[in-house]
Structure 1
Amino acid sequence: MSRRSLTLLKNLARNANGSGIQTRSVTYMPRPGDGAPRAVTLIPGDGIGPLVTNAVEQVMEAMHAPIFFEKYDVHGEMSRVPPEVMESIRKNKVCLKGGLKTPVGGGVSSLNVQLRKELDLFASLVNCFNLPGLPTRHENVDIVVIRENTEGEYAGLEHEVVPGVVESLKVITKFCSERIAKYAFEYAYLNNRKKVTAVHKANIMKLADGLFLESCREVAKKYPSITYNEIIVDNCCMQLVAKPEQFDVMVTPNLYGNLVANTAAGIAGGTGVMPGGNVGKDKIVLENKANPVALLLSSAMMLRHLQFPSFADRLETAVKKVIAEGKCRTKDLGGTSTTQEVVDALKLYPIRIRKFEPKPGPLPAQLVTRGNLIHHNSSSSSSGRLSWRRSLTPENTIPLFPSSSSSSLNRERSIVVPVTCSAAAVNLAPGTPVRPTSILVVGATGTLGRQIVRRALDEGYDVRCLVRPRPAPADFLRDWGATVVNADLSKPETIPATLVGIHTVIDCATGRPEEPIKTVDWEGKVALIQCAKAMGIQKYVFYSIHNCDKHPEVPLMEIKYCTEKFLQESGLNHITIRLCGFMQGLIGQYAVPILEEKSVWGTDAPTRVAYMDTQDIARLTLIALRNEKINGKLLTFAGPRAWTTQEVITLCERLAGQDANVTTVPVSVLRVTRQLTRFFQWTNDVADRLAFSEVLSSDTVFSAPMTETNSLLGVDQKDMVTLEKYLQDYFSNILKKLKDLKAQSKQSDIYF
């Protein structure tokens, strides 16, 4: 394989857990956010405006969108928009607006125009696209019309020269023309659009529209990857009704944009289903035309603008699904349904939008101020074992654990290492409501954690992710729709605040390779369990290792077993899940090295591991979470079949179509290395991890029958992803991408 493909392979390997393909949104530019709730100014408006804005309010509440509305009554017959409304929009920077009636003639100014001028909403954006299930004359329509909003014929510069003669001025400036052109090209670039078309009438209005075209051409030079062309407005209208699929992004002066946008909307299904809004430098006003679908899709634009793209995706998906089913449509779409019936259909849409009624549950008014847990670890003997016991100071006001002496798990020779969980008092009002769907995922950035987050979000849970503070924030979690909070299990005082309002904790965290093995996996977990107990957490899910109770000589496995016992004795309602191995880990360990023609490391031991897809683990976990019969149980998750290292390598070779450079490390070498690292204090953690590697390289089977577990969870073994299928999908995807890239690169290769 060519070395030119190595960088690509590494990038593709990082996306092995997902599709690796970014789909383009039909609404607004995707941006990651901090997950904090946002205020939105709401103007119901006139006519059917209050009806459709109320529909949006209901849907937002049903999907638990992190926004709240500030509602104001504004009507078209008013002379001006009230100052308090303008102040609210400037403060919130986002406004959702129903239609405001503008009297025809009579010299009455439009409040819509006033809003655009005073807020400098220079860009009007309308997205016209085919909705699945809604029949139209043309298919593959996906047009974004971006119109200059502040000048041109709509500037309102009119006067009566003499009785019977009225002069209306069309004003075009270089500043506004460049600004709208930059917005159009930047929108196209960020949304993976390929072409921008400038609409004009410069053949007649040579100066005004000529200046507009000149500005567009100058901006286009800065975006060489985007095709730029120009079209006269009358020809544009003809081309729109004949071949609308040829257009992508269209940028226009004010009047032309109004005509072109409505024409494009009519071709794609009508103005009642096309989302749109007016955008300024830091503000956006989203409007409704008629049908509630338009304002709901405009609300998706709003959610994306507010940096909640996951919620926007859910709303768009639900709207498209309801329309595609055809059972619930308003009269303008050929149906007989009312607005409320459309809303009810959206709220009932499974998985993507689910409404959960909150079940209040009291939280303690204060936290335990000090609690010491003491565990024992032997460092003087290879056969030493961990032990743990509790020791709570008299200062504790809330008992965390039973007082029975049987709660101690006695182990052999040991030394005492104190672990202190100190939590400053937090003022929590008694009876703080806790939704049963609120989940805290600990270790959300890991291989398993991110799958738990994705699955929980897809099933409608409110997900909060505990991550360590770091220079590169976990923006992808926020982008999915989760809330991210910073805390560190090695600093127990940071934990309690993350648990406020949480019903369930899913703990899939593990220590980093460069830090002491006990810092997170033992001391941090003990602190987390103590805080969870003090905060009244209703359920705790803990991931352990299969057969951890059979290997006390391995520190990591002993720690997992002791944590299991500690969790059991804590009194928390819990589920313990023992895992055998992840399929995802095999990509970097075997698949990528084989494709890159690098050495594949293995041992000469016949260890067998039943690898499991982390997506299946996440799915089964959430099923177990909803099954009250599983509370307090110990489950083992294993893949359909146990594999040896050599079998995995052989499978990868066959799928890759090339042989692997296998470097075999005898198990005896691992044992000697582990013994050597025990001589030095600074390499003790290396020795601990080598001990676990030694177990994985021994004559052991990491597998368990899943018949009873599948029956308990109500799942079918046939639905589990096999290792053959997982690796086959991976290699097929990678090799196809490499083939396509090589075909493309031939056009740009230079030979000497």
Structure 2
Amino acid sequence: MQPETTLSAVVQEQAVRASPSQERIPVAVAYGDGIGPEIMDAVMRVLDAAKAPLSYDTVEMGEKVYQRGFTSGITPETWATIRRNRVLLKAPITTPQGGGYKSLNVTLRKALNLYANVRPAKSYAPFVPARHPDMNVVIIRENEEDLYAGIEHQQTSEVVQVLKLVTRPGCERIIRYAFEYARAYGRHKVTCMTKDNIMKLTDGLFHRVFNEVATEYPDIQAEHQIIDIGAARLADTPERFDVIVTLNLYGDILSDIAAQIAGSVGLAGSANIGSQAAMFEAVHGSAPDIAGKGIANPSGLLVAATQMLVHVGAPDTAELIKNAWLRTIEDGIHTADVYDPKTSRVRATTQEFAEAVIARLGEEPRHLPPVRYRAGGVNVTPSPVARSEKQLVGVDVFLEWNGANRSSNLLGQMLEEAAPEPWLLKMITNRGVKVYPDGLPETFCTDHWRCRFMPVEGGAVNFDQVLALLAALHGAGMDVIKTEHLYTFDGRPGYSLGQGE
């Protein structure tokens, strides 16, 4: 059986910044919304009983802050406290319904450069029923890039776009973190998941960097899987996985799959780690429908607090709490969300569950493996990026055009007549599919056309020639809505072919 894992310190010297004696480590604490205050109160009682070497600065964020007119859900004073302490323990928050409100989690992750989301998903069978009793997976998700950059535009009456941004430094940082995490905690395999059979440049970059970094870790097995079959295998046979590293959107989906099939989302904690700050929270939401009833499960936030303790250099306290929590689970003391007459002995309230954990501090589980956390950090030092020789070799011109029954042949003829030297119309695509030359009449077309121009003789072109092309197209009555320059990097094309090209 694999060892229990949690998050270690990324930059421990930046987190442990209390007094000169370092007896108390300052932590910002947000009590959140919905069930947040109840479960945070329970967690704080456990931390105090375990004599956690922490000091707390309570900060306000979430629903009440939104309602006071802060569309990000966070005040300047809270920002200052989090940046000073560099560690945040956050209960779930509620984002008000309606437009104009920004996701607080996304804001925190991006503003604080919390590039790594780390979610262990472990089964606690037979004490908590689970379909996969041997499951013990860690999902490491890139947290800042990909489609979650949130850059979207409406370009025509019919077409909107979103930009998927993937950087080499971002890829290397999260991939190297995954391998360092595996090495630090006795994990044996890292699985990369992408969709690079379709997105050959963006996901292809992630896969390529994974292969490069993997050669530096010969002690760790490395494999790659396409995300669709990988997600299916995770849901069906999660015991085949150890550490999974992937891009932002895929990681978001995989994390929820893993938490759900492990037994309960209510037991899962989450860590968001950067080089300068870290945030720890439960996976689940604020559950306003059960707020104030005293029945919420504090386990997810408590597990996140143990991750935080290891991160700030207090692994002994994390072990003390987590082992007491495991013993409580073993003893059948369960909150309503995981209560099962076949495996549970006591249906505990939120505070009763906390009291049960406190009563077992100093004890270890008898059946589940006790946790053993290692001090020390998961240190990531990205390699310098080599600069490539970049050459402009063409341009994709995007048009809104709705003429003549959307005849691609007619559009192609018009563009060929309008294009000045040295430009040659290489192809036209619609929704990525080549429709000119030699398009098929069955292909459905919208009012959004990508028109690829390359110089007649090949080779390089200059920016003035691009401007001359755009001026000529505009003069011919074309509605240019966007351009993308086509470059080669060290002679390799930095652009994709059209489907069917």
TM-score scaled to structure 2, two decimals? 0.63
Letter in 2 for 1:318: A
Q: Distance in 2 between matches of 1:96 and 1:153?
A: 27
Distance 1:219 1:63, change over 3 A: same
User: For residue 41 of structure 2, what is the aligned residue in structure 1?
Assistant: 54
Deviation at residue 324 of structure 1 after TM alignment: 1.3
Does structure 2 retain, via aligned residues, the 8 Å contact 1:27–1:275? no
Q: Write 1 or 2 for the structure with the bigger share of helix.
A: 1
Q: Distance in 2 between matches of 1:105 and 1:229?
A: 43
Is the partner of 2:306 in helix, strand or coil?
helix
Letter in 1 for 2:6: T
Is the partner of 1:331 in helix, strand or coil?
coil
Deviation at residue 295 of structure 1 after TM alignment: 0.7
Letter in 2 for 1:26: T
Q: Distance in 1 between matches of 2:158 and 2:173?
A: 37
Q: Distance in 2 between matches of 1:189 and 1:63?
A: 29
Q: Distance in 2 between matches of 1:311 and 1:109?
A: 36
1:325 matched to 2:318? The reply is no
Q: Distance in 2 between matches of 1:350 and 1:119?
A: 34
Q: Distance in 2 between matches of 1:126 and 1:351?
A: 26
User: For residue 292 of structure 1, what is the aligned residue in structure 2?
Assistant: 298
Q: Distance in 2 between matches of 1:39 and 1:285?
A: 13
Does structure 2 retain, via aligned residues, the 8 Å contact 1:38–1:68? yes
Is the partner of 1:219 in helix, strand or coil?
helix
Is the partner of 2:6 in helix, strand or coil?
coil
Q: CA RMSD, aligned part only?
A: 2.4
1:248 matched to 2:224? The reply is no
Letter in 1 for 2:275: K
Q: Distance in 2 between matches of 1:315 and 1:330?
A: 21
Superposition pairs for residues 207-246 of structure 1, below 5 Å?
207-246=201-240
User: For residue 87 of structure 1, what is the aligned residue in structure 2?
Assistant: 80
Superposition pairs for residues 213-612 of structure 1, below 5 Å?
213-290=207-284, 291-334=297-340, 336-349=347-360, 351-352=362-363
Distance 1:215 1:350, change over 3 A: closer
Q: Distance in 2 between matches of 1:203 and 1:237?
A: 16
User: For residue 380 of structure 1, what is the aligned residue in structure 2?
Assistant: none
Deviation at residue 274 of structure 1 after TM alignment: 1.4
Q: Distance in 2 between matches of 1:52 and 1:327?
A: 16
Letter in 2 for 1:45: G
Does structure 2 retain, via aligned residues, the 8 Å contact 1:147–1:253? yes
Does structure 2 retain, via aligned residues, the 8 Å contact 1:331–1:337? no
Distance 1:350 1:287, change over 3 A: closer
User: For residue 182 of structure 1, what is the aligned residue in structure 2?
Assistant: 176
User: For residue 8 of structure 2, what is the aligned residue in structure 1?
Assistant: 29
Distance 1:352 1:89, change over 3 A: farther
User: For residue 51 of structure 2, what is the aligned residue in structure 1?
Assistant: 64
Q: Distance in 2 between matches of 1:333 and 1:163?
A: 52
Q: Which residue, 97, 115, 123 being the options, matches 1:130?
A: 123
Is the partner of 1:162 in helix, strand or coil?
coil
Q: Distance in 2 between matches of 1:105 and 1:236?
A: 35
Is the partner of 1:199 in helix, strand or coil?
strand
Is the partner of 1:26 in helix, strand or coil?
coil
Letter in 1 for 2:348: S
Q: Distance in 1 between matches of 2:89 and 2:80?
A: 15
Deviation at residue 332 of structure 1 after TM alignment: 4.2
Deviation at residue 69 of structure 1 after TM alignment: 1.2
Aligned residues: 335
User: For residue 402 of structure 2, what is the aligned residue in structure 1?
Assistant: none
Distance 1:148 1:282, change over 3 A: same
Distance 1:149 1:305, change over 3 A: same
Distance 1:161 1:92, change over 3 A: same
Deviation at residue 235 of structure 1 after TM alignment: 0.5
Does structure 2 retain, via aligned residues, the 8 Å contact 1:98–1:289? no
Q: Residues 586-625 of structure 1, C-alpha deviation per residue, up to 9 Å, x if partnerless?
A: xxxxxxxxxxxxxxxxxxxxxxxxxxxxxxxxxxxxxxxx
Q: Distance in 2 between matches of 1:302 and 1:246?
A: 28
TM-score scaled to structure 1, two decimals? 0.43
Letter in 1 for 2:322: E
Q: Distance in 1 between matches of 2:130 and 2:224?
A: 26
- % of aligned pairs identical? 38
Q: Distance in 1 between matches of 2:151 and 2:133?
A: 40
Does structure 2 retain, via aligned residues, the 8 Å contact 1:328–1:345? no
Deviation at residue 164 of structure 1 after TM alignment: 5.2
Deviation at residue 165 of structure 1 after TM alignment: 3.5
Q: Residues 345-383 of structure 1, C-alpha deviation per residue, up to 9 Å, x if partnerless?
A: 112215349xxxxxxxxxxxxxxxxxxxxxxxxxxxxxx
Distance 1:170 1:275, change over 3 A: same
Deviation at residue 79 of structure 1 after TM alignment: 1.1
Q: Distance in 2 between matches of 1:179 and 1:220?
A: 13
User: For residue 524 of structure 1, what is the aligned residue in structure 2?
Assistant: none
Does structure 2 retain, via aligned residues, the 8 Å contact 1:116–1:149? yes
Q: Distance in 2 between matches of 1:322 and 1:224?
A: 39
Is the partner of 1:269 in helix, strand or coil?
coil
Distance 1:110 1:342, change over 3 A: same
Does structure 2 retain, via aligned residues, the 8 Å contact 1:286–1:298? yes
Letter in 1 for 2:317: F
Deviation at residue 337 of structure 1 after TM alignment: 2.4
Letter in 2 for 1:351: G
Letter in 1 for 2:176: K
Letter in 1 for 2:101: V
Letter in 2 for 1:220: A
Deviation at residue 199 of structure 1 after TM alignment: 0.8
Higher RCO, 1 vs 2 (CA within 8 Å, ≥6 residues apart): 2
Deviation at residue 91 of structure 1 after TM alignment: 1.5
User: For residue 657 of structure 1, what is the aligned residue in structure 2?
Assistant: none
Q: Residues 474-499 of structure 1, C-alpha deviation per residue, up to 9 Å, x if partnerless?
A: xxxx969xxxxxxxxxxxxxxxxxxx
**Can you give the 5+ residue segments of structure 1 that lack an aligned partner in the other structure?**
1-22, 354-477, 481-752
User: For residue 201 of structure 1, what is the aligned residue in structure 2?
Assistant: 195
Deviation at residue 204 of structure 1 after TM alignment: 1.1
Letter in 2 for 1:275: G
Letter in 1 for 2:250: Y
Q: Residues 250-272 of structure 1, C-alpha deviation per residue, up to 9 Å, x if partnerless?
A: 00100000111111111111221
Does structure 1 retain, via aligned residues, the 8 Å contact 2:334–2:348? yes
Is the partner of 1:150 in helix, strand or coil?
coil
Q: Distance in 2 between matches of 1:96 and 1:196?
A: 28
Which is higher, the Rg of structure 1 or of structure 2? 1
Q: Residues 7-61 of structure 1, C-alpha deviation per residue, up to 9 Å, x if partnerless?
A: xxxxxxxxxxxxxxxx944212278988621010001112111111111111111
User: For residue 156 of structure 1, what is the aligned residue in structure 2?
Assistant: 150
When structure 1 is superposed on structure 2, of 117-126 and 91-100 the one drifting more is 91-100
